[in-house]
Structure formats: structure tokens, C-alpha cells
Structure 1
């Protein structure tokens, strides 16, 4: 069996491109050119005798064969990464201050942070829920998760996830006489968001931006809008990263399949001098494992 294993570099290129749905994103992660990633994927496809991706100008989509290969390959890389972390850092000890946006903190980190604490019992973690860029340059903050354009001067920046945007509602709003089953049913409902422009982009893509009776409510923070949707108060525009746990456990549902790409992405931002230090590296490795 082992003599049929493909070489490592093509597998790494395939896994990164599949996880990010982007050759350019994989190239950024692997610190190579996009053409080098494409070349490695072609080598793997030729080696296996199958096509792994359906390619478009900006994104790539897995074929059936690609989907079958991804999970075993990803699982193998995760096992190797975890083993290396344990070898290199049997116990990381110290104080770590992390600043993360409220949406990220409340809807994702609060559900998973226990795994990080179990993995690193010697780390005393402090979390600041904020998306204020002043903390990116604060000497009192070790690393930041930020939702933005990815440009922070004099900082090491790594993309975590580039989400898609789509409406989400409580399952209660999918039943009864006022259920949301078609685009016209959005009229008269409270459409929650942080900035109205995101909702307008989605509505325009759905050819529903001229509906009469639209009520777009800017509610200060995306987390508050999503929480309002959870409690059946209206429809929130969620991003695929922040609401994925809600969708998996049935707290929220998607009334429509249409998505639009977010204008921004989630990034891990650290001072260059801290990016390779054990505390920051431990958090970055855990985050990469979970998000991947």
C-alpha cells in the first residue's frame, strides 16, 4: 500500500487549495506562487489518474473524487501536526492575551475554547472581545483575530477564513402562516445586520432589492443581529464561519441557498517578533486545526 502513496508536496497543495477553495489562498498559506500550487495539483491528478477540481477563474470546487480524497488527507495532516506540536512543545506555559471580534468570540470561540485550554493547561489565557485595530499595535496584546481587508502595517498576517454571507433564521420562522419560504416573504420582516450594504448586496444578487416593505435594521454588531434571529425576532445576514455551529446544531437554518462573498475575511495578526514564539504558535496551530 505505501508504495502507492503520492509525494507529500502535491498532497499539501491539494489539501490547502481544497480547504480554502482557492489556488491563490493555498499559495499564500504555503508561501509559494499560485502557478506552483497548480503544478503540484496537476502532478497529483496525473499520479492518481483522476480530476480533483473543477476550476474557475477565482475559485476551485472539488469533484466527487476530490471530495473522497480530502477528508483522509486532511485527517493525516492534522495527526502529523498534532504529533509535532506535542514533540516540540510538551507543555507551553505563560500568559497569552488574545483580542478577537465579538462575533468570533461569542459564536465560535466560546464553543471551542475549552479544547485549547485542555491541550495547553499551562497557558493562562485572557480574551478581549474587540475588533479595534488599536489593539493590533498594543504592547499589552499578544495576537489578534481581525475581520478586515488583511492589511496591517508591520504585522505578520495570516488568513483564517474568507466567509460567504447568507440569511439565517430561527427554525420557528420556517413554519406557520408567516413562514419564510420565498423571497417575497422577506417583506415586512426585520432584516438584521451590522451594515446595511451587506444585506443590499445579497438582495441585489437575489433580484429582491426592489421588494416593497423591506426593513433593514442596522443593529450595531453582527452578533447581536444573529442572536436576535436565534430568538425568532427576524432574519440575520450571517457569515459562513460564525454561524456554522448554529447551522449544525439546528439553532439557525438557511431559508435560501444563495450566498455572496464577504468583502472582508478573518485574519490572525501578530507582531513579527511574536509570530514564532511558543505561546502564539500554540494558539495559531490550534486555530488552524479547528478552522481547517
Structure 2
């Protein structure tokens, strides 16, 4: 990164494409490590490309805020144009393969991702590809991974599925969320101990909540937990004022942006697992599968960016 801001220079040459890709990925994730994961390169390679771009433009694009990066005003100004340019390239490439973007596409994904991201935005993909017959299966069961009738599986897990191509979709962070009504109620929610007056809604046996409490320096004594079966149910219950849930950073972005949920405290922990794209090696590069995966990555990137904006505002 540059230690200071240089005056912009007038130039006629375009910046290197790899540097622009590194900037786009880093701006969405706000960490070099996650950007490197997406681009399948090392973090040092991403940092090198960012320095090349900053040197080429003569401005600083990021500053470091504790463990995360933050876009500078120059970076904020550049991002929309870069994102629009990449979108135009993607659309142009898709148009070349319009004849291949037709037929049946069967996707299997966990209920949280289907309910809180895919079903809210799938119209974008279907509108762009009217000849695709789309079917969504709500599941995180590994049986669909090995069914020939399923084209793409999005799975939350360890990333190990033998005999299948596995690509990282997104790591996630966990942090408490609740309805605004809970924070506005008598007594409010200002300190950690205030959570003892409310139910902690869990998707599991409370392991992740216990990890989060330990990260704050507390333990689980005095906190009441209730198992809700999955992350979607826990978040939905929190949205309706039934308690506080651990928000998955990929699932609560829309609700935070709209103000239906609010984030509690600044502490976040990295989830033990991540989201992966899993499919049969022989079809993963087909235009239909690749087109859907590209759309999903773009939508996940937007969700991540919106969350970062919400967190910094």
C-alpha cells in the first residue's frame, strides 16, 4: 500500500487487468486473504497487484483499519466504474454464449442461503436467461452432491467432497443481531450482560454462541440459549423479536441494510465452516453452470460489500 496520497496524473493507458481484478475482489471482501481465495492466488500476489494499481493511478485506494481494509475516497470513487466495467464484460461474454444458456439447471443449497439470498435475487439471473429452466432444492445434505440429477450444490461445510470439484464461495463471520424493537425496549441492549435478559437463539447446541461469548471475554454462565434447528430459523426468529441470533455475514446483509435487523456489539468470530460450490468435474465449466456460478459470486460479493458499508456507517 502507499503511505501517502499522490496527485493524480493524466494518462491514456489502461491500468493492468489483473490489478483491477485484485482491486475489485479486495474491495468486496475488504481483506487481502479472502480476495486471494477468490482469485486462487496468494495474498502477497494480491498485495503486489494493489501496489501496481496504486502506483499506476498515483493515489491510495485502501487504508488499514485494525485487521480489515477500508476504501479511501479515491477507492470509493473508482469502485463503481470498475464494478460496472466487469459487469459489462460479463454480460458481453454471456451474450456470446446465449445459445448455450438454455436448458435445465438444478441447484441445491442450504435453507439459509436459499431463503435469505438466492430466492430474494434469483430473478436477476432468470430475467437475463429466459431459456433456463431453473429448479432449486433446499438442502445441505451431501446426498445431492452425488446425484446426477443435481448440477450445482452450494454447501456449508469443511470443503471436502471426494470426486467432486470444490471451489470456495465465501468464508463467513458470526455476530449477534436482533430486531430494532429489542434495542429500543425499556433497558435496551447496551452491555453484554443485557443479553442475559433475552434468549440466545442457536442453530446448533450453542457451540458458536459459546465461542462468541469467549471472544468477548465472557462465558456462557447466566445466558439462556434455545436451539432453533438451523441458521435461517434462528435469524427469522430474531427478526420477529424473539431473541438475539448469531448473524451469518452472508445471510443478514439484506436485513441489516433495510433496518429489519441491527447488529449488537463489534465482536465477530469466523465461522468454523465456509460456503462452497460443489459440482461434477465434467459439467463445472459448462456455460450454464459457469454462468450461474458467476452470477452467484457477484451476488455474494454485493452482499459482502453492503455488509461492510453497513458496518462502517
Tell me which residue corresponds to 1:16. 25
Q: Distance in 2 between matches of 1:221 and 1:243?
A: 14
| Other structure's SS at 2:275 match | strand
State which of 96, 104, 113 in structure 2 corresponds to 1:87.
96
Q: Distance in 2 between matches of 1:132 and 1:85?
A: 31
State which of 208, 230, 233 in structure 2 corresponds to 1:224.
233
State which of 199, 220, 225 in structure 1 corresponds to 2:209.
199
CA contact (8 A) 1:228 1:234 kept: yes
TM-score by length of 1: 0.91
Q: Distance in 2 between matches of 1:179 and 1:192?
A: 18
Deviation at 1:176?
A: 2.3
1:250 aligns with 2:289: no
| Other structure's SS at 2:278 match | strand
Deviation at 1:284?
A: 0.9
CA contact (8 A) 1:188 1:213 kept: no
Tell me which residue corresponds to 1:118. 127
1:237 aligns with 2:251: no
Deviations 1:174-209 (A, max 9, x none): 112142222111003110111211111111122232
- Cα 1:268–1:57 change in 2 (3 A) is farther
Deviation at 1:63?
A: 4.0
| Other structure's SS at 1:67 match | helix
| Other structure's SS at 2:246 match | strand
Q: Distance in 1 between matches of 2:200 and 2:112?
A: 17
| Other structure's SS at 2:263 match | coil
Structure 1 residue runs of 5 or longer lacking an equivalent are none
State which of 271, 274, 277 in structure 2 corresponds to 1:265.
274
1:172 aligns with 2:178: no
Deviations 1:241-264 (A, max 9, x none): 101111111221113222112222
Deviation at 1:123?
A: 1.2
Tell me which residue corresponds to 1:96. 105
CA contact (8 A) 1:20 1:161 kept: no
Deviations 1:25-75 (A, max 9, x none): 333433444433332222112222233334699865444433333332122
CA contact (8 A) 1:91 1:122 kept: no
Tell me which residue corresponds to 1:279. 288
Q: Distance in 2 between matches of 1:73 and 1:91?
A: 27
Q: Distance in 1 between matches of 2:75 and 2:67?
A: 18
Q: Which moved more, 1:45-54 or 1:142-151?
A: 45-54
Q: Distance in 2 between matches of 1:276 and 1:60?
A: 33
The count of corresponding residues between Structure 1 and Structure 2 is 291
Structure 2 residue runs of 5 or longer lacking an equivalent are 1-9, 302-313
Q: Distance in 1 between matches of 2:250 and 2:159?
A: 17
TM-score by length of 2: 0.85
CA contact (8 A) 1:93 1:123 kept: yes
Q: Distance in 2 between matches of 1:35 and 1:63?
A: 21
Tell me which residue corresponds to 2:311. none
